[in-house]
Structure 1
Amino acid sequence: MEVFTTAWRAILANPMRSILTALGVIIGVASVVALTGIGSGTTSSITRSLEGLGTNLLTISSDANSRTGLVQQSTRATLTRSDLRAIQTFSPQRIQGVAPTAQTSTQARRDGENLSVNVIGSSPDYETVRNSTPEQGSFFTMNDAQGRRKVAVIGFEVASTLFPSEDALGGTFRLNNQTFTVVGVLEDKGSSGFTSPNTQVIVPFETFETTLGREQNGNINSIYVQAANEKDLSDLQLDLTDLLDARHRIASEADRDFSIQNQADVLQSLSTITSTLTLFLGGVAGISLLVGGIGIMNIMLVSVTERTREIGIRKALGATPLGIRTQFLIEATLLSISGGVIGILVGLGLAYGVGALINTPPVPSVSSIGLAFLFSLGVGVFFGYYPASRASLLDPVESLRYE
């Protein structure tokens, strides 16, 4: 216990130098904790957003430009109603839901208010397949679709813009000079890329064909397929690819006029990319710890030189080389540990501060915090050992003569 007290006294004797010495460790640990927390939070946020658009999902898109390895937004719809029926009847026990979509952009208007919206024509299955259960009201029904009724489920921003001071449910608005009745309002889903789910207007596919998408001639932009079993997702993707290849008479992959995207593959790729980036940033931040360790070694060497006479007196009074080495090693370790604890607190503060600015809650990792702390401890021991050994090897007679 006495050796710890002595070490603390030596550290507190030069508070400014001790703080500057520990600063490298503080910056390194804070950077590791903040970057890994923000990186994990971003990964979790994007994953939740994708899963919020539907789970166990396959997305079949029209007009895939396989020759260049790119999938572009459809310029021509190559999926037909007969393709849709073939997919719906392909394997009912393996497919939980099928939702075709056709899309267009237009202006939604009501009482002088207008908003640019993305209109989606789809089936009632869209509600479950794309996780779009209305927060208010309900989704349109099969009777609505078969009757080509002008009903719509609208996004949160559409409701707040067109109906700023009243309940949107049951209200009417206009699309392409056609009057639609609101039957459901979606929850606030935030922004996502160039388009926001909050500015979507979802109408029955049959209604879309007759009022908004006549130029599509019954063709479909994309078809969402929800698998009954997540483990069957990859096999179902291969089977549906074979089905459409046969229907479209595709001889080779280069001629394929559609693409099928597996949501699980997208999530896995995203997780791999973000994890790699987080590790890279954490590694860069870890360099600060090494720099901090070198700073600790330099200051401890200076401290040994300044306290040469003190070391000589202690040895003359019976202090052993092991005792001298232990004292200086504990001083270096205490400096490093203190820097590590302060760094963790600063890093958590930075992570939550930046998370609030970018509206993405961080996910601090206990393992990364523990690893950063252990690394700071290791830095103190590793870089403090040489100065401690040097102090323990000083000749007591020469030390007493040192001025």
Structure 2
Amino acid sequence: MNPLQVVSIAWRAILANPLRSVLTALGVIIGVAAVIALTGIGQGSTASITRSLESLGTNLLTVSGGRGGGPPGLVRFGGPPTITLKDVQALREHFAAQIAGIAPVAQGNHQIKFEANNTNATVIGTWPDYASVRNAQPAQGSFFTEADNQARKRVAVLGYQVAQDLFGGSDPLGQKIKIAGVSFTVVGVLPDKGDSGFASPNSQILVPLNTYLQRLGRSNNRGEPTVNQVYIQGLSKDTLKDLQNQITDFMAERHKISNPDEYDFSVQNQADALASVNQVTQTLTLFLGGVAGISLLVGGIGIMNIMLVSVTERTREIGIRKALGAKPRDILTQFLVESVVLSVGGGLLGIALGLGMARSVGNLMHITPLFSLSSVLLAFAFSAAVGVFFGYYPALRAARLDPVESLRYE
């Protein structure tokens, strides 16, 4: 028989029991759909997290204060402040030629009021470089200047959600708000950065660092003004690792600490954070994809089971075909093609279902799923392989049936 005849006969056999055929392919359909949907959502989540981190600034190093102790590189936070304003000024002067900007951050949660409206927000005292270092250019108004910082002016740049909570649809520029009872004039409003969880920029207020330290800040036990973190923007990704090492050595020398286990600060690289996040999400995606792949194996077992039943039901038909001159390889090919058609058809339906599921789940989670051609082709190829692997034994069994015994079968 030519290939078209084989496919035609296999297709008629499948349509003879449509409900059973659909239920047989259901395991493959669900398996392929789950693989496509989970990998699409996983890749979309990875891209979304990467974009969120990069939207807050690129080529970033973060110097954080804390108490040393424990394994190398571990810094425990929540103790006495350890990074002083003098440290930040020394960093700016020493690395001026190697950095694009530097922005110290002193922050705390405070109640914010405007007339009868009030809300709670994270108030951040920082330098004007914060606008470029952390990609925080205002959508309305402007950022405060170095002159504002030196003069300790009480001006503020509001996060998007804070502006909405206090002013609704009104223009907040030039209005006076109270932060912990201290009056500030609004000079800018940040764009909507989306809800990125605990430290969402939408729920922050930015004020000049000197103003913050005078009105809201804290000092260490020697009375020196301190900051929580320092954001440093490197000139390029290529030099970021070397800059990280230099800053670590510089801070250790300033704090007179020679043992890395006792460092009272840490210098973190944004590229390392991105790599860690991507590794975690990719590992989780592969794990979920593997779990979904198990359902493909279950579907393959279902195909084998039904094909064995089909061979038993069609024993007399096989005998008649052999009596009319069909060779064992023709019988083998016929049943193998039936199995492959079931699995490939299930794979195609599964791909369509998976794409739809990923888009629906993505809309609910506000994530844009990403689909790679390689993952779609891999899922399809695996479904076809399942049909061949699990269909071969039933097809071989049919091909080996004795024609005389098959004709006698009732």
TM-score by length of 1: 0.97
What is the CA-CA distance between 1:70 and the residue it aligns to? 4.4
- In structure 2, the partner of 1:260 is 267
Contact (CA 8 Å) 2:112, 2:177: kept in 1 or not?
Answer: yes
Q: Normalized against structure 2, the TM-score is what?
A: 0.95
Correspondence for 1:288: 295
Question: What residue identity is the alignment partner of 1:136?
Answer: Q
The answer to whether the Cα contact below 8 Å between 2:219 and 2:226 also exists between their aligned partners in 1 is no
> What's the counterpart of residue 140 of structure 2?
136
Gaps of 5+ in 1: none
The aligned residue for residue 311 of structure 2 is: 304
Distance 1:35 1:330 in 2: 30
Per the alignment, residue 343 of structure 1 pairs with 350
Q: What secondary structure is seen at the aligned counterpart in 2 of 1:108? A: strand
Q: Does 1:80 align with 2:87?
A: no
1:35 equivalent to 2:38? Answer yes
8 Å Cα contact 1:64-1:259 kept in structure 2: no
For 2:256, the aligned partner's letter is R
**What's the secondary structure of 2:388's corresponding residue?**
helix
**1:271 corresponding residue in structure 2:** 278
Match of 1:49 among 49, 52, 77: 52
Q: Which segment is superposed worse, 190-199 or 174-183? A: 190-199
Q: CA RMSD in A?
A: 1.4
Amino acid at match of 1:253: P
Which of 6, 10, 15 aligns to 2:18? It is 15
Q: CA deviation at 1:366?
A: 2.0
Distance in 1 between residues matched to 2:76 and 2:107, nearest whole Å: 15
What secondary structure sits across from 1:188 in the alignment? coil
**Aligned residue in 2 for 1:392:** 399
Residue number in structure 2 paired with 1:362: 369
Which position in structure 2 is the counterpart of 1:323? 330
**Match in the other structure for 1:375:** 382
Matched with 2:9 is: 6
Specify the code of the residue in structure 1 equivalent to 2:102. Answer: V
Query: Match for 2:228: what amino acid?
Result: N
Aligned partners of 2:67 and 2:79 also within 8 Å = no
- Decide which moves more: 256-265 or 186-195: 186-195
Q: Tell whether the 8 Å contact from 2:10 to 2:337 is kept in structure 1 after alignment.
A: yes
Return 5+ residue gaps in structure 2 as ranges: none
1:74 touches 1:221 (CA, 8 Å); kept in 2?
no
Aligned pairs, number: 403
Give a deviation string over 1:160-196, Cα, whole Å, max 9, x none: 0111131122222111222211111111112233232
Matched residues in 1 for 2:254 and 2:99: separation? Answer: 19
CA distance in 1, matches of 2:320, 2:379: 38
Q: Distance in 1 between matches of 2:39 and 2:77?
A: 34
Matched, 1:204 2:211: no
Query: Equivalent of 1:63, from 66, 71, 88?
Result: 66
- The code of the aligned residue for 1:160 comes to Q
Amino acid of the residue matched to residue 188 of structure 1? D
Question: What is the SS of the residue equivalent to 1:89?
Answer: helix
Q: 1:56-110: CA deviations, max 9, x gaps?
A: 1110011244436644444322111221122112232321111011011101101
State the one-letter code of the partner of 1:91: F
Is the contact made by 1:93 and 1:228 (CA closer than 8 Å) also made in structure 2?
no
Q: Does 1:180 align with 2:149?
A: no
In 1: Cα distance, 2:384 partner to 2:113 partner: 64
Task: Determine the C-alpha separation between the residues in 2 that align with 1:71 and 1:347.
Answer: 44
1:145-164 alignment, distance < 5 Å: 145-164=149-168
Residues 219-269 of structure 1: CA deviation (Å, up to 9, x unaligned): 111111111011111111111111011110002012211111111111111
CA–CA separation in structure 2 for the residues paired with 1:214 and 1:79:
12
Aligned-partner Cα distance in 1 for 2:163–2:79? 30
> Quick one: distance in 2 between partners of 1:126 and 1:229?
17
Q: 2:238 aligned with 1:238, yes or no?
A: no
- Counterparts of 1:24 and 1:194, CA distance in 2: 41
